[in-house]
Amino acid sequence: MHETFMARAIAIARESIDSPGTLPYGAVVVRDGEIIGEGLNRAEANCDPTSHGEIDAIRDACARLSVTSLTGADLYASGEPCSMCVAAMYQVGIARLFYAGAAADSAAFFARLSEHDPKWARAMSNQELRAQVGLPIEQRSMAAEQMMAKDMVAVFDEFIARHT
């Protein structure tokens, strides 16, 4: 059964070969032996850098089921997911991840692709991204400054007061 779901994720990835604005990263979300969401990397087509196959499969599953939690579901991805996609999987409760291509395979793919068109060059490798995301905010290479914290805490307090 696992092979069937992975084959579907790879088939979705293969659709990118003839679909402008897509990349070969497909994913399916599975719960109780049934595909409940599918996605293809449409970042370029949608002008949305978060439109990865895994994210779109999660969005599709949540929309189909009218939920924001996919607790216990599995995700099958044609490539090892990036940090953004992994964070989304944790956020919605994905229990298990199955993937085909490794991060090194994706790095080689983007290196070859960017040789032909520099727009595909990545500012940061998957490994570098994982390292940065895992650091405390003050240690990351991206500058960050906290401001107006008391104002935001007041909004949190007001929200709780109204909704509890």
Active site residues: 54
Q: Alpha carbon of 142 to those of 18, 75, 120, 122, 135: distances in Å?
A: 36, 30, 21, 16, 11
Q: Alpha carbon of 87 to those of 14, 22, 29, 157: distances in Å?
A: 25, 22, 15, 26
> Tell me, what's the pLDDT at 118?
79
> How far apart, in whole angstroms, are the C-alpha atoms of residue 45 and residue 67?
26
Chunked into runs of 10 residues, the chain (164 residues) has average pLDDT values of 97 97 97 98 96 98 98 98 95 98 90 84 80 92 95 96 96
Task: Strands of 34-111 (E only): list them.
Answer: 34-41, 74-79, 96-101
> How far apart, in whole angstroms, are the C-alpha atoms of residue 82 and residue 80?
7
The pTM of the full predicted model, rounded to 2 decimals, is 0.90
